[in-house]
Amino acid sequence: MRARRLGGQPTPSTVDRDQAMRDYKLSIEYKHLKSHCPGGVFIVPSFDDIRLFHGVIFIRRGAFTNGIFKFTLTCPPKYNDANTHPKVVFSSYVYNPHVHPQTGEVDMTVAYPEWRPDKHFLVTALTYIKKIFYIKDFNDLSEEQKQKLPNQEAYNKFLNDQDGYRRRVAECVKEAQRSTYTSLPGSTIRFTEEDLCHQMMRNLLAERYGASEDAANESHDSSLPSLVTKEGVLEAIQQAQAASSSPKLSPKFMPRTPN
């Protein structure tokens, strides 16, 4: 029987307090991600469950270049206890030795047989799922870990048929791109097609920072982002919003058509 305070209000049990502390720690971890999340990885909490996150990772180089892979990250109720791993599942198809070919689950328990709450956090899991897209070999894995890789077919193809492996990876990248605008029910991350306002903003940014739109799309020069300022982007957004709602568009705001 739960104890009651004077006035008839129930006194929180030890179980309730422990769970509240776990939830609080999880919220602190998520807040930490605002400044420490790996580049190209984004997660947003679910509307209905504080322990469910919807995420996406953009791959910028390597075999999976231009891949846009969506996933969910679920923290069990006992997360923040020892050996209670977060669960990462890709909803996009990912051809990778570290990802189960049927379920899409990442081999978090293989990578971290022991999950320590004083050492491992949400950023640990997100850093790992980014790492699996850039791995060039499996030399750092023990034989036991290699045997536990969830996609053994992909692992064997990686070892014995590099051309075939790259073809399968290219196929999964194309499949992920085709499903970019398809969202899971309840997902807090959604992609929509460009509308007029977006096209105008792209033109404004290209004009402001001295690069053509095609060059901005294709350039991999790491020095270009350093020219962009937060204030400049916000100003371009405001101008694009104002121009797109205007019945008369200035020629410089008109979206460009291919030759």
Provide mean pLDDT across the span 9-28.
82
Q: Which residue has the tokens 């937060």?
A: 230
In this predicted model, what pLDDT tens digit does every residue of 111-134 receive, in sequence order?
Answer: 999 999 999 999 999 999 999 999
User: How many other C-beta atoms lie within 10 A of the C-beta of residue 221?
Assistant: 9
Residue 53 clears pLDDT 50, i.e. is over it: yes
In this predicted model, what pLDDT tens digit does every residue of 166-214 receive, in sequence order?
Answer: 999 999 999 999 988 888 888 888 887 777 777 888 888 888 776 544 4
DSSP state of 57: E
- The reply to whether the predicted model has a pTM over 0.75 is no
**Architecture of domain 14-178 in CATH?**
Roll (3.10)
Predicted pLDDT at 1: 46
Give the least confident one: 68-72, 115-119, 224-228, 234-238: 224-228
Give the CB-side neighbour count of residue 110, counting CA atoms within 13 A.
Answer: 22
More confident residue, 249 or 236: 236
Q: What does the alpha-carbon distance between residue 33 and residue 36 come to, in Å, rounded to a whole number? A: 5
Residue 231 clears pLDDT 50, i.e. is over it: yes
From-to residues of CATH 3.10.110.10 in the chain = 14-178
More confident residue, 5 or 124: 124
